[in-house]
Amino acid sequence: MPGRIREEDVSTVRDRARIEEVVRETVTLKAAGGGSYKGLCPFHDERSPSFNVTPSKGLYHCFSCGEGGDVITFVRKIDALSFTEAVEKLAGKYGIVLRYEDGPGGGGSNQQGQRTRLVEAHKVASAFYQQQLQSPQAEHARAFLIERGFEPESWLTFGVGYSPAGWDGLRTHLRSRGFTDEEMLASGLAVSGQRGAYDRFRDRLMWPIRDSGGDPIGFGARKLSESDQGPKYLNTPESPIYKKSQVLYGIDLARREMAKQHQAVVVEGYTDVMACHMAGITTAVATCGTAFGADHVKILRRILMDDDNNHAQVIFTFDGDAAGRKAAIKAFGEDQKFVASTFVAIEPNGLDPCDLRLRSGASAVQALVDNRIPLFEYVMRSTISDFDLDTAEGRVAAMRAVAPILAGIKDPALRPEYVRTVSGWLGMSESALLSESGISNRKTTSNQSASTARVSAPAGSQAGLVEREALKCVLQAPQLVGAWFESLEESVFTIPVAATVFATCVSAGNPLEFTTSSDWVSAVLAVAPSDEVRSHIRAMAVEPLPLDAPDQRYVQAVLARLLEMDAGRRIAEIKGALNRAEDGNDAQEQSQLLSDLLSLEKYRRDMREFAVGDQA
């Protein structure tokens, strides 16, 4: 049970710890005037900075979620520490000696909080491993590093060390420094055995894993001998201070450069991080024993201060093989959380940055990163490469596979560019790709009856995009939509939420009767059936249209496209029904359907002309 830290020492910590410096370990801050700073709030997800730090008052506050406090509160919340542990962490950082109420003369070491003790154990272990790397027994470990182009001076920068073979080298050392078996077990440095704790890492090359403030919290360990039955890489298990989903190796070294260069390079291993930093890529980090995930995205976003006005770049390096490609596609899924432009750097011969530097030098690593391509492009190319583009069927199938990816591109300025690029690869016209992809999610198996209910397209599909854009026009430009509103029906919307929003608009009245779009939006919100629908309406009412001020031409093109796509779906249904009528020799039915088909096809042509032409 830790004793109470003396009140005056807590005050000293509060006074001497610089809040902006402490916050900057987690959040990139920009000057906000008046001596204050702002950044992206680490306590809630946001796109524009509402998290403020005021050093003159020693306080932080988020204007969005209300989180706030002093430097100790910040450390407690961000690292999930107790009050005592937070004060101890700050005291350690600023070299303040703490005294405890219950203990005599400054208190015994057993009065410190758990985090402090576990970090302390890691510091001792790290120094021990580094020293062991110089020992005669570590010759193979040194050879491993030299063979990979890492000279002794780099060992120090990265704190590389060696865990001796045997069972109790570190344990004995930690005991001599006053650490208990319990602490060794809690830190993950030791494993529980029949005769007490024994060393977890034996005869391995050791990389200390540090948090963004530089405190060692775990180790990555590589096997060196064939006799080692364990996995090639072994990492610290989850512990009170080590959460693998939130750890990035190299973050302590890369953090400042990431904020400065608005760039992060994500590589796959410890030696790759070393090779990148030594080749001048000082923004390189790696995940430790886990795939890059949502928590990693959050950490990078806060450091890169990635918001709508500041597009930082995140560059993944992957092996060019199938596994690397799978990883890229997985990261693409995660990437949807990024506003950042995400890129991949792929070495054609499948060399990782470590091997590449060894074989071709530092400039080759730099070139690898320089030759990055957008992740979207990479994923689309890989997707298309599965199909035979020499056949019409192959091209259509490729287009269907690629349509949802195109629709998933968040940046409306980039989307047309990619549609153009992809249509080029597929040898199809842009308009074909656009309009065809509207029905690309429909099943086309021969036994499907054309009269079955509409298959609703996913919200991210081309149909979903057009439907959303149409509703944005309806909400934001009611006067321009004007008479077109009357020709829309709920059934033209295939996305359920779009259909609901449209139905809500209909029940709010005629947009032409409202002089301003804000009156119109208020009227629509007032009749919305639920909070969820209201939040969709609000989003659509503010999401920017591609033009600063929407014009008649644009609104008309969007609505005509929507109606054209709907006509396309109805034509497909009628054609199916016509086939069945022919099979059944029902002449009257056939002639009716044919007449419907002709008028629908004319309607579709008209709409297409409205969508692309100059009709007013």
CB of 315: closest distance to Zn ion in angstroms? Answer: 28
Nearer to Zn ion, 39 or 188 (CB): 39
Nearer to Zn ion, 40 or 567 (CB): 40
Dihedrals phi, psi of 70, to nearest 5 degrees: -100, -170
In the complex with Zn ion, the residue whose CB is nearer, 32 or 545, is: 32
Shortest reach from residue 61's CB to Zn ion, in Å: 9
- Contact between 352 and 268 under an 8 Å Cβ cutoff? The reply is yes
Look up residue 57 and give its two tokens: 């008052």
As measured in angstroms, the least distance from the Cβ of 43 to Zn ion is 5
Angstrom CA distances, 88 to 33, 107, 284, 544, stand at 32, 13, 30, 48
Distances (CA, A) of 172 to 40, 137, 175, 196: 45, 18, 5, 12
> Residue 93: how many CB atoms within 10 A of its CB?
19
Binding mask 167-196 for Zn ion (x = CB under 5 A): ------------------------------
73 binds Zn ion (CB under 5 A): no
Q: Least distance to Zn ion from the beta carbon of 302, Å?
A: 11
User: Which range in 37-45, 76-84, 175-183, 312-320 contacts Zn ion by CB under 5 A?
Assistant: 37-45
CA 371, CA 377: separation in Å to the nearest integer?
Answer: 13
Question: Nearer Cβ to Zn ion, position 44 or 57?
Answer: 44
Instruction: State which residue, 44 or 330, has the beta carbon closest to Zn ion.
Output: 44
Near Zn ion by CB under 5 A, which window of 54-62, 157-165, 281-289, 463-471?
54-62
Q: Which of residues 37 and 100 has its CB atom nearest to Zn ion in the complex? A: 37
Nearer to Zn ion, 41 or 499 (CB): 41
Query: How many residues at the interface with Zn ion, by CB under 5 A?
Result: 6
Among 3, 9, 16, 43, binds Zn ion (CB under 5 A): 43
Task: Give 290-306 as a 3 state SS string.
Answer: CCCCHHHHHHHHHHHCC
Residues 6+ apart with CB under 8 A from 376: 332, 342, 405, 409, 414, 418
> Smaller CB distance to Zn ion: residue 51 or 418?
51
DSSP 24-89: TTTS--EEEETTEEEE--TTS--SS--EEEETTTTEEEETTT--EEEHHHHHHHHHT--HHHHHHH
CB of 313 to Zn ion, least distance (A): 25
| Binding region for Zn ion (CB under 5 A) out of 59-67, 75-83, 173-181, 368-376 | 59-67
Cα(9)–Cα(401) distance, integer angstroms: 63
Compute the least distance from the CB of residue 50 to Zn ion, in Å.
6
Nearer to Zn ion, 5 or 300 (CB): 300
Region from 24-32, 61-69, 184-192, 262-270 binding Zn ion, contact rule CB under 5 A: 61-69
Secondary structure (DSSP) of 148-176 = TT--HHHHHHHT-EEEPSSSSHHHHHHHH
Min. distance of Cβ 339 from Zn ion in angstroms? Answer: 17
41 sits near Zn ion (criterion: CB under 5 A): yes
SS3 percent helix, strand, coil of the chain, rounded to 5, is 55, 15, 35
**At a CB cut-off of 8 Å and minimum separation 6, what does 386 contact?**
398, 401
Alpha carbon of residue 361 to chain centroid: 31
CB of 45 to Zn ion, least distance (A): 9
Q: Which is nearer to Zn ion, 64 or 592 (CB)?
A: 64
Per CB under 5 A, which region of 13-21, 65-73, 206-214, 357-365 contacts Zn ion?
65-73
- To Zn ion, the closest distance from the beta carbon of 41 in angstroms equals 3
Six token digits for residue 536? 């969709």
Residues whose CB falls within 8 Å of the CB of residue 607, separated by 6 or more in sequence, listed in order: 560, 561, 563, 564, 567
Using rule CB under 5 A, residue 27 touches Zn ion? no
Q: Which range binds Zn ion by CB under 5 A, 62-70, 107-115, 212-220, 451-459?
A: 62-70
First-to-last C-alpha distance (Å) of the chain: 80
Binding mask of the shown chain, residues 214 to 233, with x at each position contacting Zn ion by CB under 5 A: --------------------
Kindly state the smallest distance separating residue 62's Cβ from Zn ion, in Å: 3
Q: Name which of 22 and 463 has its Cβ closer to Zn ion.
A: 22
Q: Is 497 exposed, middle or buried (0-12, 13-18, 19+ CB in 10 A)?
A: middle
Distance CA 284, CA 357 (A): 14
**What is the number of other CB atoms lying within 10 angstroms of the CB of residue 290?**
14
CA–CA gap between residue 406 and residue 565 (Å, rounded) = 17
Residue 43 or 144 having the CB closest to Zn ion = 43
**Binding piece for Zn ion, criterion CB under 5 A, among 64-72, 121-129, 141-149, 344-352:** 64-72
Kindly indicate which of the ranges 63-71, 286-294, 310-318, 608-616 contains the residues binding Zn ion, using the contact rule CB under 5 A. 63-71
- Specify the stretch interacting with Zn ion by CB under 5 A; choose among 43-51, 164-172, 354-362, 471-479: 43-51
Using rule CB under 5 A, residue 64 touches Zn ion? yes
Among 62, 259, 354, 481, binds Zn ion (CB under 5 A): 62
How far apart are CB 19 and Zn ion at their closest, in Å? 16
Phi, psi of 604 (to 5 degrees): -65, -40
Burial level of 89, CB count in 10 A (0-12/13-18/19+)?
Answer: buried
CB of 57 to Zn ion, least distance (A): 18
Q: Tell me: does residue 65 bind Zn ion (CB under 5 A).
A: yes
d(CA 574, CA 596): 8
Q: Which is nearer to Zn ion, 30 or 44 (by Cβ)?
A: 44
Stretch that binds Zn ion, among 24-32, 36-44, 90-98, 219-227 (CB under 5 A): 36-44
Smallest distance from the beta carbon of 63 to Zn ion, in angstroms? Answer: 8
Which residue, among 260, 244, 172, has the nearest Cα to 211 in the 3D structure?
244
Q: Which of 15, 30, 35, 44 binds Zn ion (CB under 5 A)?
A: 44
Instruction: Give me the residues that bind Zn ion (CB under 5 A), please.
Output: 41, 43-44, 62, 64-65
